[in-house]
Amino acid sequence: MSTGVRGQWSSKLGFILAAAGSAIGLGNIWRFPYVTGENGGAAFVFVYLACVLVIGVPYMYAELALGRAVQKNPVGAIDRLRPNSSWILVGVLGVVTGLFILSYYAVIAGWTFGYIFKMVIPNWLTFGEFVSRPVLVIFLYTVFMLLTIFVVHGGIRGGIERWTTILMPVMFFLLLGLIVYVNFLPGSGKGLAFYLAPDFSKITGKVILSALGQAFFSLSLGMGLMVTYASYISKEDNLVSSGLFVALADTAIAIMAGLIIFPALFAMGQDPAAGPGLVFNVLPAVFEHMPGGTVVGVVFFVLLSIAALTSTISLLEVPTAYLVDNRGTARKVAVWIVGILVFLLGLPSALSQGAVSWLSQPIVGDMEFLSLMDFLFGNISLAVGALFLSIFVGWVWGATNASEELATGNPKFKKWAPLWSFLIRFICPASIFIILLNLFKFF
Ligand code: PHE
Distance CA 52, CA 56 (A): 4
- For residue 53, what are the contacts with CB-CB under 8 A and spacing of at least 6? none
Three-class SS string for 191-233? HHHHHHCCCHHHCCHHHHHHHHHHHHHHCCCCCCHHHHHHCCC
**Residue 379 CB less than 6 A away from ligand 1:** no
Tell whether ligand 1 has an atom less than 6 A from the beta carbon of residue 106: no
Rounded Cα gap, residues 397 and 132, in angstroms: 48
DSSP secondary structure code for residue 355 in this structure:
T
Please, which pLDDT band fits residue 365 given cuts at 50, 70 and 90? confident
Question: Do 250 and 145 form a contact (C-beta atoms < 8 A)?
Answer: no
Q: What is the pLDDT of residue 4?
A: 42
> 305 CA to middle of ligand 1, Å?
13
Judge: domain 3-439, CATH 1.20.120: no
Confidence label for 5 from pLDDT (cuts 50, 70 and 90): low
* Candidate of 253, 310, 314 to mutate for ligand 1, largest count of ligand atoms within 8 Å of Cβ: 314
Instruction: Examine the pLDDT at 160 and tell me if it is beyond 90.
Output: no
Mutate-to-test residue for ligand 1 from 30, 105, 160, highest number of ligand atoms within 8 A of CB: 105
pLDDT, tens only, 201-244 = 988 877 887 888 899 999 999 999 999 999 999 888 899 999 99
> Mind listing the pLDDT tens digit for each residue in 66-99?
999 999 999 999 999 999 999 999 999 999 999 9
Distance between CA atoms of residues 430 and 59, nearest Å: 12
Pairwise CA distance, residues 169 & 165, whole Å: 7
- Confirm or reject: Cβ of 359 under 6 Å from ligand 1: no
Q: What percent of the chain has pLDDT over 90?
A: 63
Q: How far apart are CA 305 and CA 83, in angstroms?
A: 40
How remote is the CA of residue 315 from the centroid of ligand 1, in Å?
8
DSSP state of 41: S
Model confidence at 2: pLDDT above 60: no
Q: Are 30 and 108 in contact (CB under 8 A)?
A: yes
Tell me how far the alpha carbon of residue 101 lies from the centroid of ligand 1, in angstroms: 8
Q: Which residues contact 225 (CB under 8 A, 6 or more apart)?
A: 22, 63, 94, 98, 314, 315, 317, 318
Closest residue CA from atom 4 of ligand 1: 27
Q: What atom in ligand 1 is closest to the CA of residue 217?
A: 7
Mean local confidence (pLDDT), 346-367: 93
- For the entire predicted model, the pTM comes to 0.91
56 lines ligand 1 (CB under 6 A): no
What DSSP line would sit under 89-128, residue for residue? HHHHHHHHHHHHHHHHHHHHHHHHHHHHHHTTSTT---HH
**Which of 169-173, 373-377, 402-406 is the least confident region?**
169-173
pLDDT band at 442 (very low <50, low <70, confident <90, very high): low
Domain borders along the chain are 3-439
pLDDT category at 3 given cuts 50, 70, 90 is very low
Q: Is the CB of 342 under 6 A from ligand 1?
A: no
Tell whether the torsion through CA atoms of 54, 424, 426 and 217 is positive or negative: positive
Residue with the nearest Cα to atom 7 of ligand 1? Answer: 220
